[in-house]
Amino acid sequence: MKKIYVILLIVAAALPFVSCSKDVDDELEEPMLIIKFKFDPNQVRLNNLGQSSTVPAGNAAQSPIFNTLGAHYIELAPNANTQLGSGTIIYHGAETNVGGATAIDFSQEKIVAQDETFLKIPLSQVAVGSYEWMRVSLAYQNYQINVRSAGVDYSGTLASFVGFNTYISSFNIGNNVFPVNENRLQGYWAFGLNDNPYSTSGQAAAGATTVPNPIQATSFVPTGSCVVTGKFVSNLEIDGTETNDVVITLSLSINNSFEWEEVNADGKYEPAAGEKVVDMGLRGLIPTYVK
């Protein structure tokens, strides 16, 4: 009985220290800025200037089913006159010169699915300010598309590299391995049929990838950069006194974002018929936040 009494005294004496430790942990948990992506096939389809856009005559398109996406650069911009790089840069991915010119290092690229956290940093690292716009340099897309061959429809996976320049050692689509070991400019893609050994790859023409920027007239984005720009409905205010996390969702329009030149005018992508991919650019960005 005496032994039990001693044990209880020791436990009781330790309780204040446990409580104190918990309080310290709570104080160390500072609010975070969290970035997630959403892929919306019904979001308005925009052109390079942020204007509503339709598929041009002679081409066809489909809204892919997204698996994952990678981004290389994220910036908060106070207003429409903020030049690229002059806002608050909250993310810049790894780069390399292994392939010659500076390029995104695909081996270190952060790639996520919808609603998965892409970035989580302390809000104390974000400059105090009022932000009207968000810029995101997209780099990699992986999605499902439908193709037709000899009158039969198939589904397959497409890997799309839309960053300004990407160094790729190798990557795979299912069991299909694509050794590259070189830089690839914006518009490089590879495709593999699901549950089938067929695969192929190609390169879209320079400057063909759509990169919506509604403030191009006042805040220029270079061709080939894939820096998509979108406006908050109401400015994101960061005053440095936040006690809760701020979660930003970047909704990307995938409305007919995979586009090709038609040979057979049937609205079906038929690579075996010589139909060429012309555009894989995301079709708009709408950023929203919850505080």
Can you give the residue ranges of every domain in the chain? 33-290
pTM over 0.85: yes
Cα distance between residue 147 and residue 126, in whole Å: 44
Number of neighbours of residue 158 by Cβ within 10 angstroms: 22
The mean pLDDT value for 88-108 works out to 98
Exposure letters 111-142 (e unless 16+ CB within 10 A, then b): bbebeeebbeeebeebeebebbbbbbbbbbbb
Mean pLDDT for the chain overall? 91
Contact 48, 216 (CB under 8 A): yes
The mean pLDDT value for 266-280 works out to 93
Give me the percent of the chain exceeding a pLDDT of 70: 90
Which of 2-6, 134-138, 190-194, 202-206 has the lowest average pLDDT?
2-6
Q: Kindly calculate the radius of gyration of the chain based on its CA atoms and give it in whole angstroms.
A: 24
- On the 0-12 / 13-18 / 19+ scale of CB atoms within 10 A, 274 is exposed
DSSP assignment of 171-216 equals EEETTEEEEEEEEEETTEEEEEETTSS-EEEEEPPTT-S----TTT
Enter the DSSP assignment of 56. Answer: P
pLDDT at 54 over 90: yes
Hunting for tokens 């010589």 — which residue is that? 274
Helix (H, G, I), strand (E, B) or coil at 106: helix
Cα distance between residue 226 and residue 64, in whole Å: 19
Helix (H, G, I), strand (E, B) or coil at 2: helix
* pLDDT value at residue 28: 63
User: In this predicted model, what pLDDT tens digit does every residue of 213-248 receive, in sequence order?
Assistant: 999 999 999 988 899 999 999 999 999 999 999 999
User: In this predicted model, what pLDDT tens digit does every residue of 184-203 receive, in sequence order?
Assistant: 999 999 999 998 888 999 99
pLDDT at 93 over 70: yes
The mean pLDDT value for 168-193 works out to 95
Contact 92, 105 (CB under 8 A): no
Select from 163, 69, 172 the least CA-distant residue to 113: 69
SS (H, E, C) 219-265: CCCCCCCCEEEEEEEEEEEECCCCCCCEEEEEEEECCCCEEEECCCC
Cα distance between residue 224 and residue 166, in whole Å: 12
